[in-house]
Amino acid sequence: MIFGCYAVFNLLSSLLFGKYLVYIGTKFMFVGGMFVSGGTTILFGMLDRAPDGPVFITMCFLLRAVDAMSFAASITASSSIVAKAFPNNVATVMGSLETFSGLGLVLGPPLGGFLYQTFGYEVPFIFLGCLVLLMVPLNMYILPTYVDSTPSQHSFWKLVTLPKIGLLSFVIISLSGSFDFLDPTLSLFVLNKFNLSAGYVGLIFLGLALSYAISSPLFGLLSDKIPYLRKWLLVSGNIITAVCFMLLGPVPILHIESQLWLLVLLLVVNGISAGMSIIPTFPEVLSCAYENGFEEGLSTLGLVSGLFGAMWSLGAFIGPTLGGFLYEKIGFEWAASVQGLWGLISGLSMGLYYIVEHWRRKRCEPQNTLHTEEERTSLLPHRI
């Protein structure tokens, strides 16, 4: 419950901050979120000094909730800043930023483990919290200030009830759930199946993080240079992710023996397919919002950023919760396959939607051409 409350508060805060981004301001929200996050991270390192029992439990919940809200503020604001500063290269810039997310996933565990083993429980949290706090004045100096006093005339409900964005939200939830499903389950499976030490288990996760970090900028560049390709990157990425999860175990009905090299290879492919799916999603949601009458500006960017963060948090809550339950009941092989089925359904649903959308546009083109010709004819001077 302590770990799960983070995703719940992140979800609610993302929606709230996305709605009121215009009133708070992007720069203040981003810098303020970083400041609070750095402070709560340092306080995490002090939790071992809290009295045992209800006080300790209460402080755990409180710090996790505050950290989740500050993280939601920073992520919502940063996505809006990126889209506002680079309107024609949103996917490229986000793909580049995801490289650093991947590096954080790569460096975090070994660095944290080293600091913990060398200096004890408090130092990793104090070090990371101070590092975040040092970024606050730097970002205050570097980031531009965007002013948009026009509040949105639309709501999250109108945004998410658009069929395309509803399906894209399902894709985001399934992708987030897939990532977070692996946290509580894969390490246990590897330890039990291959009898590896904890250090080697950490190295296995590097395959996923590194491939995602390296491939994300490429898919971002492709999404911006060839916008039509975004939809098919998204669909194919989901399907490849689904196949990878079904082979992680592998699923028993395939009668394939589980081998370490195959597991590592699948994690590498999974990292690449995750980049294919995740990077095009934000620009797809944004372009769909604009096509359906949402005004161009910070208000819409806030709604889209908040929705993206909220759906990602929902997946982060469902993935490990459902995954942990299924792991205990039916084992990792079947649990991973169920997770893969989730991704397969979302990918095929999006593919079907894009095909129907393409078919409808093709049908409308002759009618639009006919109307245009009639209008031109009516404007010609009538000869006697």
Does domain 1-369 sit in CATH 1.20.1250.20? Answer: yes
Its pTM stands at: 0.81
Structure tokens at 257: 């023996």
Express each pLDDT in 108-145 by its tens digit: 777 887 888 788 888 889 999 999 999 999 988 888 88
The Cα diameter of the chain in Å comes to 99
> Region 29-50: what's the mean pLDDT?
91
Give the pair of three-digit tokens for residue 380. 């010609």
Q: CA–CA separation, 71 vs 65, rounded Å?
A: 10
Confidence of residue 70 (pLDDT cuts 50, 70, 90): very high
| Residue-level pLDDT at 37 | 93
Q: Which residues contact 92 (CB under 8 A, 6 or more apart)?
A: 86, 217, 220, 221, 223, 224
pLDDT: which is higher, 192 or 382: 192
pLDDT grade, residue 382 (50/70/90)?
A: very low
Whether the predicted pLDDT of 150 surpasses 70: no
Bigger pLDDT: 384 or 184? 184
| 3-state SS class at 52 | coil
Within a 10 A sphere around the Cβ of 339, how many other Cβ atoms?
A: 25
Check: CB of residue 238 under 8 Å from CB of residue 175.
yes
Residue labelled with tokens 């409180």 = 62
Mean pLDDT (whole number) for 345-356: 90
Q: What is the DSSP letter of 47?
A: G
Alpha carbons 345 and 246: distance in angstroms, whole number: 13
Q: What confidence tens digit (pLDDT) does each residue in 266-320 have?
A: 999 998 998 898 888 888 888 888 888 887 777 888 888 888 888 888 888 888 8
